Amino acid sequence: MSDLNVVSISEAKIPSEPFIACHLIDGSWRESADGETFDRVSPSHASLVTRASRGGTRDVDAAISAARLAFDKGGWSSTSGKDRATILLRVADLVDRDRERIALLETLESGKPISQARAEIEGAADLWRYAASLARTLHGESYNSLGNDFLGLVLKEPVGVVSIITPWNFPFLIVSQKLPFALATGCTAVIKPSEMTPATTVVLGELLIEAGLPAGVVNIVLGYGDPVGTAMTTDKRVDMVTFTGSTGVGKAIVKAASGTLKKVSLELGGKNPQVIFPDADLDSAVDAVVFGVYFNAGECCNSGSRIIVHEDIAEDFIARTVEVSRKVPFGDPLDPSTKVGAIITPGHQQKIDAYVQDAAKAGAQVRLGGAALEVPGLAGQFYQPTVIANVKGEMPIAREEVFGPVLTVLTFRTLEEAIEKVNDADYGLSAGVWSENVHTCLEFARRAQAGTVWTNTWMDGFAELPFGGVKESGQGRELGTYGLEEFLEAKTVTMRIGRTRAPWVDPGVE
């Protein structure tokens, strides 16, 4: 550990009192119907961050009732795109105003670095602004090519009440990948943030009220998957569920929602490969690989946790990756220089370590890390940057989502072999290729089974480009116009012009 870049405890002050988080139901803040609460302790500083109301079925029922009424009779679904966009833009401005407050709460609850949190909140504000632009440009279609007797219309209408269930790793950013797009179409919503990171979603609720969003359009219920998430996915008054999280939970949501045939959109896990060819810019590739695996402590569905390196450069590439990994600042998330913070829970830290130890027992070589990281002055849980070579494709660490700062290295000889290894996975969220040969990059992009393919870069994203996966990485898309379409239903209107319909029953028959 002595040769790693460890950032000790900073001088930043932690709030002396916890953030009190309540449910937002029909425009007002409420404690749980049964009065229960739960606490969130910082994974990095072991201090109490948030005391939140613990929701139950009565709270969910009240929230769904409010969202249903706001959609059916409250007028939000029939407001103009201009009026909806105006509120979304106000929210974006308020997010920018409160960026520091939101970032601090998110850092303390999640363990992510404060600099990263600030950037994510800034990116979230941009998503609200982009969704506002879509609200102004939303339109249907017309068909005047059906003959002189007909005019065809396709209306785009909001799907209805949407249950939004978000994860702990990017709580504010991911709710901003869903909610503003739903609101732009005229949907109403019930949101359940992760029980590990409820605070910033509650702050968003405060900003929605300040921006002038009508009561009941957005409701927030805090608590656990059982019973809150279960009720949100099974209630027949809910028209759609959008969820980001693990593949296992996603499958359970599909099964739960099947009883009422709700629309379901899922952004799930990934075991994302980067393939490095000998002609690649290796300095840039190494830096991107290090970023891809350690960003957010590897607790990221897009984590580039599986690299596939050409045999001719494998040892050199591993050595470079280890060298750069040692320079990455791990430690106190409140220090602006930190790039990798804490692991979300002690249980998750144990899960990460179990994958590493099992791989080592199976013959893989731990070239760096492979153990917990001690950060002077902090009592939270951290894990060392870890690089594992000599990995075989059948090992669990090569196939399953570790969700930690752990890089596995496989090798290949030909493009065919590389693509075979890329696609030999249950997941299909993202993939990357590094080569100076544009033909190699294009062939890889066409053949890789992934929702996103990066060439000579990793994890660059834009509000305009859709995001989502194939296979067990999910269904549906977020962001871009595709993300808006998820919250819309198409209605066909066929209009006959004039009295031109021929009778079906001959009027002359007696």
Active site members: 267, 301
**What stretch of H or E contains 72?**
helix 57-72
Other C-beta atoms within 10 Å of 263: how many? 17
Helix (H, G, I), strand (E, B) or coil at 71: helix
Q: Report the SS3 class of residue 366.
A: strand
What number of residues does the chain have?
A: 510
Cβ-contact 310, 412 below 8 angstroms = yes
For the sheet containing 240-244, what is the strand order?
28-30, 23-25, 218-220, 188-192, 161-165, 240-244, 263-267, 474-475
Helix (H, G, I), strand (E, B) or coil at 186: coil
Tokens found for residue 154: 């396709």
Q: DSSP secondary-structure letter at 372? A: B
Residue type at position 448: A
Which positions ≥6 away from 420 have C-beta within 8 Å? none
Distance CA 289, CA 406 (A): 11
Q: Which of 73, 64, 56 is nearest to 236 (CA)?
A: 64
- Taking a C-beta distance cutoff of 8 angstroms, is the pair 430, 451 a contact? yes
Residue 264, CA distances (Å) to 151, 221, 357, 440, 478 in order? 32, 19, 37, 36, 12
216: its two tokens = 């009941």
Rounded Cα gap, residues 240 and 387, in angstroms: 41
CA nearest neighbour of 103 among 118, 113, 93: 118
State the DSSP H helix or E strand holding residue 452, giving kind and residue range, or none if neither: strand 452-455
DSSP letters spanning 346-361: HHHHHHHHHHHHHHHH
Q: How far is CA 345 from the centre of its chain?
A: 19
Measured CA to CA, the distance from residue 107 to residue 121 in angstroms comes to 11
Contact 167, 250 (CB under 8 A): no
